[in-house]
Chains A and B, each alone.
Chain A
Amino acid sequence: MSGETLIQVEHLYRDYGNLHALADVNLTLNRGEVLGFLGPNGAGKSTTMQIISGNLAPSSGSVRINGFDILDEPRQAKAALGFLPEQPPLYLELTVIEYLEYCAKLNRIPRADIAKAISRACERCGLGDVQKRLIANLSKGYQQRVGIAQAIIHTPEVVILDEPTVGLDPIQIREIRSLIRELGSDHSVILSTHILPEVQSTCDRVIIINQGKIALEDSLAGLDSRLRKNIITVSLSNPPEIQILTNLDGVDTVEQLSEGRYQLHCSNEFSPADFAGSAVNNNWQLNELTPQTGSLEQMFIDITCSDNDLHSSEEVTA
C-alpha cells in the first residue's frame, strides 16, 4: 500500500444545523488502490463523497486531491477526479454519445481527443451497442454504466463511486463489480457501499464509518486476520469443570451455553485436533465441535450496532 497519496482528507467536519453528519473524518487514498467505504445508511458516506467531489463544502477540515485543495484550487483538484453520485447525473433526453460528448467538454478534453475518449469510455463500460440510444430508454444497469463512463471519460487519477450497484439486479451487480475491479487496475477508486460482499470482492482496503465517525480502517488482509480469531462451539456429554477447559492451550475464555454445551473463545494457537484428543483421553464424550469463523458482516454489525442502532443489521445484508 505504499505509493503516492492521491486523496488526503483531514479532520473533516460537517454539520447540518444541529446534526453532526461528520466528525473528524480522516482518510487517504494511494495510487492504484481500491478503497471500500462502508457504513449503514445515514452514516455519512454520501456526505463524505459529496465533500470530496466538491459538491458540498465542509464545515471545517480539508480535502486535497492530487495535492490540490478542493476549495482553494478546485479546477486542478477536480481535473483529477471522476465522480458518480448516488443518483447518476444523466440528461435523459440525450443519447449516450451526446451525453458523453458534453461530459468530455465539461472536463476540458481537447476537441480533437473527444471522439477517442468517448469510444474508450464506452468500450470499458460495455456501452458499444447502446451508444445511439436515448439515455431515458436504457435499463437501470445501463444508465449506471453511462454514469460510470461519465466518471472515467477524462481518465482521472481518482474515481469516486457512491453506491454504484444500488437498485440493480444480481447479474448487473456482478457486471458492475467486475468493471470496478477493472477500473482499480489503472485508477484509484473510492467505492462507497453498504453491501459487504461488494467490499470483499473488490477492495484492497476498507474504512467503516458509523454515525459520522470512522469506526475502523484496515486492509482487507488485516480484516481477514482479525476475523480469524475464532469461536468454537463444543458439546460434551460428560463435561469437566469449566476451569479445566479454560486452562487448555489456546483457549482464552469459556462461556457455557447450556448443559454440556460451551463456546470457547480461542486464539490462533488453538488446535481442534488437540482438543478432540484430550476429550477422548479424559472421556468427556465429545458430541459436537463447530468452528465459527467470524464474518465481516458480524464485525460490521458489532461495530455499527454498538450504539444500539437496530436498523443497521437489516441493511447490511446483501
Chain B
Amino acid sequence: MIIFSIAQRELRNMFNSLLAWIVLSGISLVVFLILVTLVKSYLENPANNLGGIGVTGTIVSTVFYFCSYLFILIAPMLTMRSFSGEFKNKTSQLLFSTPISMTEIVLGKCLGLYLFSLIAAVIPLLITLSLVFGTQLDAGLYFSSLLGFLLVTFTFMTIGVFASSLTEHIGLSAFSSIGIILFLFWLVELLASLIKVDALQSALQYLSISKHASPFYNGQMNSSDIIFFILIITTFIVLTIRKLDSYRMQH
C-alpha cells in the first residue's frame, strides 16, 4: 500500500531528525509536572473534587487537555516540512512523476502524522495510568479524554499539512499553520463574541475547535462533535489535494 509507505517515510523522517525525540521528551516532562502539581493540590485540598467528578475528571482529563494545547505549537513544527521540505529539495518531483495520486500522497502524509499523535498519546496515557496504584479510575472518562486529545491533534496535524502545501518556505509554513490553528481553536470564539449578527455569530461559534473539544474532557462523546472533527479534517485534506493539483498549474 502506497499510503502506508508514504506514512512510514513521514514517520521515520520525524524520528530521523532530533525533532520527534525532543517533542516526545518535552511532552513527557510537561505531563509529569502537570500530574505532580494536580495530584499535590488534590491531596492537599480534596474539596477541589468539584461536583464529584473524581480523580479522573480533575487530573486525567486536565492532563490530556493540556497536552492537546501543546500541539498548537508541536503540530506546526512537525508538519512544516511535510510538503515545504519536499518542494524545497525538489523531492516533490519524485512524488509527482511516480504513478501515485495526489490523494494517496496527502493521505499518506497525514496518516504518518496521525501515527505520531498516537505515539505521543501513549505518554500521558502511561503516566496517568500510574494513578491506578493509589485510586480507582473512570474508564469511560479516560477513554473520552483520549479520544478528544486524538481528534484535536489529528485536526492540528491536518491543518499543518495544508499550510505546508501552501509554500516552499518552511518558516512561513509553520507560521501559517500556527495562525490557522489559533484562529480556529480560539480566536474564532473571540470574534463571535464581538459580532452581534446572530447567524454569523452562531456560524463562527460552530467553527471553534475548543468548543467542540471540551465536552470530551468532561466525558461526553457527542456524535455532533465527532462529526465536526471529521468534517474539518476532511475539509483540510481536500484543500491540500486541491492545492497540490494546482501547484502544477502555476509557477
Residue ID in chain B nearest A59 by CB atoms: B249
Q: A74-B99, A78-B99, A91-B91 are in contact. Are A57 and B248 (CB under 8 A)?
A: yes
* Interface of A toward B, CB cutoff 8 Å: 16, 50, 53-57, 74-79, 81, 83, 85, 87, 89-93, 102-103, 105-108, 150
A-B pairs with beta carbons under 8 Å apart, 8 shown: A50-B93, A54-B96, A54-B97, A57-B249, A75-B101, A91-B91, A107-B98, A108-B2
Q: A55-B248, A57-B248 are in contact. Are A103 and B97 (CB under 8 A)?
A: no
Residue ID in chain B nearest A53 by CB atoms: B97
Partner pick for A75 among B93, B96, B99, B249, CB 8 A cutoff: B99
Most chain B CB inside 10 Å of its own CB: which residue of A57, A77, A92, A150: A57
**Which residues in B have their C-beta under 8 angstroms from that of A90?**
89, 91
B5 touches A106 (CB 8 A): yes
A89 touches B5 (CB 8 A): no
Residue ID in chain B nearest A153 by CB atoms: B98
Residue ID in chain B nearest A147 by CB atoms: B94
**Which residues in B have their C-beta under 8 angstroms from that of A50?**
93
Q: A55-B248, A93-B16 are in contact. Are A106 and B100 (CB under 8 A)?
A: yes
**Which residues in A have their C-beta under 8 angstroms from that of B99?**
74-79, 107-108
A56 touches B248 (CB 8 A): yes
**Which residues in A have their C-beta under 8 angstroms from that of B98?**
78, 103, 106-107
Interface string of B109-146 (1 = CB under 8 A from A): 00000000000000000000000000000000000000
- Total chain B interface residues with beta-carbon distance under 8 A: 23
* Interface of B toward A, CB cutoff 8 Å: 2, 5-6, 9, 13, 16-17, 89-101, 248-249, 251
Least Cβ distance of B55 to chain A in Å?
44
Residue ID in chain B nearest A83 by CB atoms: B97
B2 touches A106 (CB 8 A): yes
**Which residues in B have their C-beta under 8 angstroms from that of A57?**
248-249
A195 and B128 CA atoms in complex are apart in Å by: 66
Residue ID in chain B nearest A79 by CB atoms: B99
Residue ID in chain A nearest B4 by CB atoms: A105
A55 touches B13 (CB 8 A): no
Count the A-B residue pairs with Cβ separation under 8 angstroms: how many?
Answer: 68
A78 and B99 CA atoms in complex are apart in Å by: 5
B89 touches A89 (CB 8 A): yes
Q: A89-B89, A90-B91, A93-B16 are in contact. Are A105 and B5 (CB under 8 A)?
A: yes
Residue ID in chain A nearest B248 by CB atoms: A57
Partner pick for B93 among A77, A79, A83, CB 8 A cutoff: A83
**Which residues in B have their C-beta under 8 angstroms from that of A92?**
89
Residue ID in chain B nearest A150 by CB atoms: B94
A55 touches B97 (CB 8 A): yes
B5 touches A85 (CB 8 A): no
B16 touches A55 (CB 8 A): no
Most chain B CB inside 10 Å of its own CB: which residue of A50, A53, A55, A92: A55
Q: A75-B101, A108-B99 are in contact. Are A85 and B248 (CB under 8 A)?
A: no
B89 touches A102 (CB 8 A): no
B248 touches A102 (CB 8 A): no
B101 touches A85 (CB 8 A): no
A91 and B16 CA atoms in complex are apart in Å by: 12
Residue ID in chain B nearest A86 by CB atoms: B90
Least Cβ distance of A114 to chain B in Å?
11
B101 touches A53 (CB 8 A): no
**Which residues in A have their C-beta under 8 angstroms from that of B2?**
105-106, 108
A16 and B5 CA atoms in complex are apart in Å by: 35
Residue ID in chain A nearest B245 by CB atoms: A57
Least Cβ distance of B234 to chain A in Å?
23
**Which residues in B have their C-beta under 8 angstroms from that of A76?**
99
B249 touches A89 (CB 8 A): no
Given contacts A93-B16, A105-B5, 5 further A-B contacts (CB under 8 A): A16-B251, A57-B248, A102-B5, A105-B2, A108-B99
B97 touches A78 (CB 8 A): yes
B100 touches A55 (CB 8 A): no
Residue ID in chain A nearest B102 by CB atoms: A74
A53 touches B16 (CB 8 A): no
**Which residues in A have their C-beta under 8 angstroms from that of B249?**
57
